[in-house]
Structure 1
Amino acid sequence: MKTLTGVGSTPLSGVGTARWYRPEAGLTLPERPDPSAVDPDAELARFADARDAAREAIRDARDRAAERVGEEEAAVFEAHEQFLDDPELVGDIEAAVEDGTPAEHAVRDRFAAAIDQFEALDGPMAERADDLRDVRDRLLRVLLDVDSLVDVRDLPDGTVLLAERLTPSDTAELDPDAVAGIATVAGGRTAHAAIIARSLSIPAVVGVGESLRDIEDGTELLVDGEGGRVVADPDAETRAAAEGEATSAVTERVSTADGRPVEVAANVGSEAELGPASERGADGIGLFRTEFLFLDREAPPSEDEQYEAVTAALAAFPDDRVVVRTLDVGGDKRVPYLDLPDEANPFLGRRGIRLSLDEHCDLFETQLRALLRAAASDGDADGADDADDADGEGLAVMFPLVSQIEEVEAAVSAVESVAADLDAEGVDHAVPELGAMVETPAAVFLADRLADRLDFLSIGTNDLAQYVMAADRENDGVAAYHDPLHPAVLRAIDRTASAAEETDAWVGMCGEMAGDPAFTELLVGLGLDELSMSAVTVPAVKERVREVDSADARDLAERALACETRAEVRELLDG
């Protein structure tokens, strides 16, 4: 039995048979010819055709990923498409071709330089190099007329896939029923491939290092994504422990060691994710993204379509809360049939609740009708329950990107108006819990007033970090700023939770931060009542909650809030 260590990416364990994936073997370039033998016009045409084919493949991959792992995770492929149109990359490649370099060599050379630049950086920025590799390999596959994705699409059951690294495209094609685990030589926990692996609930350990190359095809491997271990030829005891862990889930609600209850819910971006969330023991849904109903179609969904999707979620969690976010488009989420405006800075433009209350109030009204009907259905898609017996318990609705009290008042007024219309029509309905996303500094500073008017607040750390730090989360050039452990972001979280303490409102978190067990004690100490995350991390966070002492957690939070840099915060948590 031999044990290798790396970075645990998906907190699950799996046992299977090693199989190496070497896509680079099919991308060997022919010898570079003399420039005088190259026809620049022909090569430019080949490059243009390759870009068109790669763009179509990226869009297909995005659609498949959206269906399998959700719109949020699939958004990475939109960034890949932008690489194809990057004027600097494209311009340099075309210039090299005009100087007599064949298209495939020009692509390889220019992307190699860009990859080296990213890998010279620290943290998440270095991991974006894998996205460049993904786009490069798509172009090269077209130019060389090869398809190296066949292996990952058709793997035998019980495969532990080994690779130098996996790209997002590679990972999105994996069948979680066939792949028992992933281990890579390189890579990090925040790389897009690792995020997709977590969404697919595939045990993964990344960044194992060169020692992984000593593992041969056919070796029995245990992948421990919780402990960051890869064990070759595990003994029966080690294997049994891992297999038992892989099938276990904490289904009951949990409390801290001193008895403080903390709700641990799941973020869900499609109906296909409801089953896995329930199986992993989630205490309901803390973020039900409704965007999947509106994307990849020619017209918006009907009221009945939305009603059926929400009642399906309620049926999956009949005894728990289901928090539905109203339509959150704009910014990085484009819906062609809505004719959203082109804006110089869409993240600071018309998106979220702003669009719902303005240009698309008709869509908002339709969605509210579906939600209020679902609130009375108790998960029964036939709507058989009597409204007099339903009080809306189970369903909660939250409004995204709130930054003004007027927005909340207008949204609540819209709910009341829809309820009056349904009542006049004799349609069963109930008013659910109402809440707001805290994603902007404005919402943080207004948190006490929001809590007075609403039933709950839910902190979206992905956007909150973006707006507090003035750092676009899709811009790799400022990726170092986009960290929820920055003292400014932690103080925003603390201010929000503290503002609700004297009210009846509860405070939750549905950003990526909530799903990292390393942050659980800190978040409990900051006063969060609910944590919502990718379903795969629910058991690990529940186990961590059980170990936390509330007094110790508050002490940790106070020390973190006293830190002046994110490095100090990380050192505190690592200690």
Structure 2
Amino acid sequence: MDALENWFTEPRDDMHRLSKRMKSVVAEDEHALFDVYLRILDKDSLGIEVEQVIRKEKIGAQAALATVIKKHIAQFENMEDSYLRERASDFRDLGRRVLAALQWSQQEEIIYPKRTVLVGEEVTAAALAEIPEGYLAGVISAKGSNNSHVAILARALGVPTVMGVRGLKLDLISRRAIIVDGYYGQVYISPSKSVLAEFKLLEQEEQALNQSLVSLRDKPAETVDNYKVSLQVNTGLAMDAGLSMSVGAEGVGLYRSEVPFMSRDHFPSEDEQTIIYRQTLKAFAPHPVTMRTLDIGGDKVLPYFPVAEDNPYLGWRGIRVTLDHPDVFLMQIRAMMRASEELNNLRIMLPMVTNLSEVEEASYLIDQAFTELLEEGCAIEKPKLGVMIEVPAAAYLAREIAKRVDFISVGSNDLTQYFLAVDRNNARVAGLYDSMHPAMLRVLLKVVEGGHAAGVEVSICGEMASDPLAVILLIAMGFDTLSMNSSSLPRVKWVIRNFAIANARKILAEVLEFEHPAQIRFHLQKALEEEGLGSLIRAGKSL
């Protein structure tokens, strides 16, 4: 199989070239994306999988490569979590590069204009890196979202990006003047003079706003009348730490621990997990890192742990899986605790809890793991334990759950989906998915009241926590911590620092009387305008 190794040489060399080019223009943590690509292209990773398929299926190299790539793509595309789902594009792009090498495909040299807008069906980070430094002015992709690697990299470069554009006709866009509105997710093709003039003015507002956001990095998220909120980030990779800390994050509100499980063909050992978790704990120390225990099942299926169900979203997933396999749960808990040695910034969070008995059983196992490690001589402190409030049953048991743990955290995406009985990935009903639904706001308030009545911290993670309009309501409800993607954190902090908690509580009381989500959003937009914060809505074009 020496020839197979040679087939991966050209794509690896190509990726090394792109990696070297990007090293001088992006921070170390964003540059780490290319290290991930190189590891996938290693002969002992993707290469060995292709070799195994060739031997087992008795097929050619191209067919074997297609089989392996399709397997990885399908695995990630079937995930509900957008952060994980976007990893499919990475495998698709790398597969194309290896296939081109197999077919001896000669790439034609491209001459890029000085203000290039990169447009494609599925733009990748590697394709973005092909463009000469200083030439890239915007990115438009038919597929992908703000969680994709290309979006992360584009934000690091300060380039406006619109992902997931429906009905994108590439032949009608080529060599046309384009405006990329990254804030509202809109694209203007051959804009009129008046539209161009408007966006030039908005660009000036954006530059002024960004200057003020940079100055907020080391300042607290505190309202004008001295009400403080903690702002943290959601992540699944240690490489996100640099960007997160650069925007003033105060810790990790959600670490998706299933990521290392999904990039392997076997359950990672306790030692392997310990190394992975310590990278993130150390990168964010002394700030707290809240690690969600293994959340598989539903849309997140491990190839070496198949689960066949008619309705996976309402089936065997989250804490239900790990409590049925206490050996897996204990191994992960031990690894997390070992990783926290001398750092002591670990917090553990349980996903998809429905019953109090699940909390009690998990707590017992965590106590067992802690005792074992102390007896083995590990210098660790017992981490705080929390529960994700993701299903209606947990929301209505918030007070009882809170009495048994140290904190609770609302997973707004799943809670909205389950509470409204809407699959947000189903285009026919996606319009019904709205976290501003009056019933959702009332249940969120109930969760906060229940948690605080039990004397514990209440946080929220998900898209709602990064919505500047929703933030007004969340701080008024009393959420102690908001956790979001790092790119959203500066604007959320800006809203909080320019708003009064007294006014936010007044607005909350008003919107709780409304009957339609549209009414609520209009009222919140009006409130921002009245407070002189309208530039947050009008500007922001480069995000």
Question: Normalized against structure 2, the TM-score is what?
Answer: 0.68
Q: How does 1:186-265 map to 2 (within 5 A)?
A: 187=165, 206-212=185-191, 230-231=199-200, 241=208, 244=211, 248-265=215-232
Provide the rounded CA distance (Å) in 1 between the counterparts of 2:514 and 2:89. Answer: 34
> Would you say the 8 A contact 1:515–1:541 is kept in 2?
yes
Provide the rounded CA distance (Å) in 2 between the counterparts of 1:371 and 1:186. Answer: 36
Measured against aligned partners, the alpha-carbon deviations of 1:502-523 in whole angstroms (never above 9, x if no partner) come to: 2220100011110111221111
Residue of structure 2 in register with 1:181 after alignment = 159
Of 454, 463, 467, the residue aligned with 1:503 is 454
Deviation of the 1:73 alpha carbon: 2.5
Provide the rounded CA distance (Å) in 1 between the counterparts of 2:156 and 2:493. Answer: 27
Of 302, 306, 316, the residue aligned with 2:283 is 316
Q: Does 1:348 align with 2:305?
A: no
Residue of structure 2 in register with 1:293 after alignment = 260
Cα–Cα, structure 1 residues 162 and 419, in superposed 2: closer, same or farther, change >3 Å? closer
Provide the rounded CA distance (Å) in 2 between the counterparts of 1:185 and 1:395. Answer: 34
Measured against aligned partners, the alpha-carbon deviations of 1:457-512 in whole angstroms (never above 9, x if no partner) come to: 10001000111011123222221222111112111111100112222201000111
> Would you say the 8 A contact 2:217–2:246 is kept in 1?
no
Cα–Cα, structure 1 residues 282 and 164, in superposed 2: closer, same or farther, change >3 Å? closer
Measured against aligned partners, the alpha-carbon deviations of 1:345-374 in whole angstroms (never above 9, x if no partner) come to: 11100100110101x221110111112223
Secondary structure of the structure 1 residue equivalent to 2:322: helix
Provide the rounded CA distance (Å) in 1 between the counterparts of 2:421 and 2:502. Answer: 33
Cα–Cα, structure 1 residues 569 and 51, in superposed 2: closer, same or farther, change >3 Å? farther
Q: Does 1:154 align with 2:154?
A: no
CA root-mean-square deviation: 4.0
> Would you say the 8 A contact 2:139–2:159 is kept in 1?
no
Secondary structure of the structure 2 residue equivalent to 1:507: strand
| Unaligned ranges ≥5, structure 2 | 1-61, 92-118, 167-180, 527-543
Residue of structure 2 in register with 1:362 after alignment = 327
> Would you say the 8 A contact 2:73–2:88 is kept in 1?
no
Residue of structure 2 in register with 1:167 after alignment = 143
Cα–Cα, structure 1 residues 566 and 152, in superposed 2: closer, same or farther, change >3 Å? same
Cα–Cα, structure 1 residues 60 and 442, in superposed 2: closer, same or farther, change >3 Å? closer
Cα–Cα, structure 1 residues 212 and 155, in superposed 2: closer, same or farther, change >3 Å? farther
Secondary structure of the structure 2 residue equivalent to 1:176: helix
AA in 2 matched with 1:363:
V
Cα–Cα, structure 1 residues 513 and 276, in superposed 2: closer, same or farther, change >3 Å? same
Deviation of the 1:248 alpha carbon: 4.8
Cα–Cα, structure 1 residues 173 and 510, in superposed 2: closer, same or farther, change >3 Å? closer
> Would you say the 8 A contact 1:280–1:538 is kept in 2?
yes
Deviation of the 1:162 alpha carbon: 4.7
Cα–Cα, structure 1 residues 62 and 204, in superposed 2: closer, same or farther, change >3 Å? farther
Secondary structure of the structure 2 residue equivalent to 1:364: helix
Provide the rounded CA distance (Å) in 2 between the counterparts of 1:527 and 1:165. Answer: 38
AA in 1 matched with 2:399:
D
Secondary structure of the structure 2 residue equivalent to 1:366: helix
Residue of structure 2 in register with 1:374 after alignment = 339
Provide the rounded CA distance (Å) in 2 between the counterparts of 1:239 and 1:563. Answer: 33
Deviation of the 1:239 alpha carbon: 9.1
Deviation of the 1:74 alpha carbon: 4.1
> Would you say the 8 A contact 1:268–1:289 is kept in 2?
yes
Q: Does 1:527 align with 2:493?
A: no
Q: Which moved more, 1:301-310 or 1:444-453?
A: 301-310
Cα–Cα, structure 1 residues 165 and 213, in superposed 2: closer, same or farther, change >3 Å? farther
Deviation of the 1:396 alpha carbon: 1.0
Provide the rounded CA distance (Å) in 2 between the counterparts of 1:187 and 1:490. Answer: 30
Cα–Cα, structure 1 residues 55 and 530, in superposed 2: closer, same or farther, change >3 Å? farther
Cα–Cα, structure 1 residues 74 and 155, in superposed 2: closer, same or farther, change >3 Å? farther
Kindly tell me the number of residue pairs found equivalent between the two proteins. Answer: 421
Provide the rounded CA distance (Å) in 1 between the counterparts of 2:372 and 2:447. Answer: 34
Deviation of the 1:573 alpha carbon: 1.6
Q: How does 1:396-545 map to 2 (within 5 A)?
A: 396-545=347-496
Residue of structure 1 in register with 2:50 after alignment = none
> Would you say the 8 A contact 1:254–1:542 is kept in 2?
yes
Residue of structure 1 in register with 2:237 after alignment = 270
Q: Does 1:395 align with 2:343?
A: no
Q: Which moved more, 1:314-323 or 1:284-293?
A: 314-323
Provide the rounded CA distance (Å) in 2 between the counterparts of 1:372 and 1:74. Answer: 25
Cα–Cα, structure 1 residues 562 and 428, in superposed 2: closer, same or farther, change >3 Å? same
> Would you say the 8 A contact 2:254–2:290 is kept in 1?
yes
Provide the rounded CA distance (Å) in 1 between the counterparts of 2:405 and 2:442. Answer: 22
**Percent sequence identity over matched residues?**
32
Provide the rounded CA distance (Å) in 1 between the counterparts of 2:449 and 2:240. Answer: 33
> Would you say the 8 A contact 1:352–1:401 is kept in 2?
yes
Provide the rounded CA distance (Å) in 2 between the counterparts of 1:299 and 1:419. Answer: 25
> Would you say the 8 A contact 1:322–1:395 is kept in 2?
yes
Measured against aligned partners, the alpha-carbon deviations of 1:159-187 in whole angstroms (never above 9, x if no partner) come to: 34457764329975475389542366995
Of 499, 504, 512, the residue aligned with 1:553 is 504
Deviation of the 1:204 alpha carbon: 5.4
> Would you say the 8 A contact 1:65–1:73 is kept in 2?
no
Cα–Cα, structure 1 residues 462 and 52, in superposed 2: closer, same or farther, change >3 Å? farther
Q: Does 1:563 align with 2:542?
A: no
Secondary structure of the structure 2 residue equivalent to 1:457: strand
Provide the rounded CA distance (Å) in 2 between the counterparts of 1:318 and 1:77. Answer: 27
Cα–Cα, structure 1 residues 77 and 214, in superposed 2: closer, same or farther, change >3 Å? farther
Secondary structure of the structure 2 residue equivalent to 1:262: strand
Provide the rounded CA distance (Å) in 1 between the counterparts of 2:211 and 2:124. Answer: 35
Q: Which moved more, 1:148-157 or 1:258-267?
A: 148-157
Provide the rounded CA distance (Å) in 2 between the counterparts of 1:479 and 1:486. Answer: 13
> Would you say the 8 A contact 1:326–1:397 is kept in 2?
yes
Secondary structure of the structure 1 residue equivalent to 2:200: strand
Cα–Cα, structure 1 residues 312 and 436, in superposed 2: closer, same or farther, change >3 Å? same
Question: Normalized against structure 1, the TM-score is what?
Answer: 0.65
> Would you say the 8 A contact 1:288–1:323 is kept in 2?
yes
Residue of structure 1 in register with 2:34 after alignment = none
AA in 2 matched with 1:367:
Q
AA in 2 matched with 1:317:
F
> Would you say the 8 A contact 2:213–2:491 is kept in 1?
no
Provide the rounded CA distance (Å) in 1 between the counterparts of 2:126 and 2:371. Answer: 56
Cα–Cα, structure 1 residues 532 and 239, in superposed 2: closer, same or farther, change >3 Å? closer
Secondary structure of the structure 2 residue equivalent to 1:410: helix
> Would you say the 8 A contact 1:466–1:482 is kept in 2?
yes
Residue of structure 2 in register with 1:75 after alignment = 85
Residue of structure 1 in register with 2:105 after alignment = none
Provide the rounded CA distance (Å) in 2 between the counterparts of 1:494 and 1:275. Answer: 33
Provide the rounded CA distance (Å) in 2 between the counterparts of 1:254 and 1:374. Answer: 30
